Chain A
Amino acid sequence: MRVPEILLAVVMTSLASCATVQADSPAELNDLEIAHVAYTADNIDIRYAHFALALSDNPEVHAFARTMIRDHNAVNEQALALLEKLEVQPQDNFLSQQLVENSVRLVDEMSKLRGGAFDKRYAENELAYHQAVNALVANDFIPNIENAEVKSLFQQGLEIFRAHEKHAQMMVEQLN
């Protein structure tokens, strides 16, 4: 199963640099940068979902995609409301930029696929994407978030995205 390459590279870099702190490690991001990554990751998955609704005819893929749109929008609404309450702005950072760059490449790849090939690639990516993002959130973000309300929102988000991971696994199994 392919893990989004950029996320794998980021995790590997993070593990390799345990002895010294590097500025481009996910574990070194501050709360506002982490919030920006989460908002970006949500929007990327929403984008993938709209893509799936446009290119797939599979009802299971459509049901999954609609859930992604519904849930990621709900999380983003909560995140934006919290940032407004805290009177802060999310901060762009290397990881958000890498997520966006990778998503552009993936959309280009999937746009060339149709039918079952598209469905399988979409499902495969959704599973790998959620696995990678969930690992980042659980291992690098939540332990390092300083603001209690931001941490609580991420913990709720992790529950949501773990359910998405299970749903993606079911979708992959149905399509294979």
Chain B
Amino acid sequence: MTRRNFLKNAATVVAALQVPVAQHATAQASEPVVHRVEIQQFRFVPDTLKVRPGDRVVWVNRDIVPHTATAVDGNWDTGKIEANGVAEIAVVTASTNAYFCIYHPSMKGRLELVPVDA
């Protein structure tokens, strides 16, 4: 993936995720975290992540074929992640997101959202 495509994809995903979230009177208990998912041998590793709004999730494709990480409910999509490519999303929604690879639908993962004050 070129740097332009990476930034374009990231910006597209962030823009698509500008959905209303619950207002919290208190500040976040912890700083945003960057989570890393490795795509290896047609698996998302780890396949489940606990994330908070404001965190970022980065997928790194270690396979020799392209993949995607795409929300089952259509809420977000990394687009094509080329072999040895990287893509990321910003976590802003307040709902649990199951996701899969559009090209290889047996590949599945999950983002489990933890409330900000948890």
Contacts and interface: CB of A to CB of B under 8 A. Distances in A.
A74 B82 CA distance: 10
Q: Which secondary structure dominates where chain B touches chain A?
A: loop
Contacts, number: 38
B66 A74 contact: yes
A155 to B, nearest CB: 9
A156 B64 CA distance: 8
A167 interface: yes
B42 A159 contact: yes
Interface residues of B, number: 13
B50 interface: no
Interface string B100-118: 0011111100000000000
Nearest to A159: B41
Given A159-B41, A160-B42, A163-B42, A70 B65 contact: yes
Contacts of B105: 167, 170
A140 interface: no
B42 A74 contact: no
Contacts of B103: 63, 66-67, 70-71
Nearest to B66: A70
Q: Which secondary structure dominates where chain A touches chain B?
A: helix
Interface string A149-176: 0000000100110110011001000000
B1 to A, nearest CB: 14
Contacts of B63: 156, 159-160
B18 to A, nearest CB: 28
A3 interface: no
A150 to B, nearest CB: 14
A14 to B, nearest CB: 28
Contacts of A71: 65, 103
Given A70-B66, A74-B64, A78-B64, A167 B106 contact: yes
Contacts of B64: 74-75, 78, 156, 160
Interface of A: 63, 66-67, 70-71, 74-75, 78, 156, 159-160, 162-163, 166-167, 170
Closest 8 CB pairs of A and B: A166-B106, A71-B65, A163-B42, A74-B65, A159-B41, A67-B103, A163-B104, A78-B64
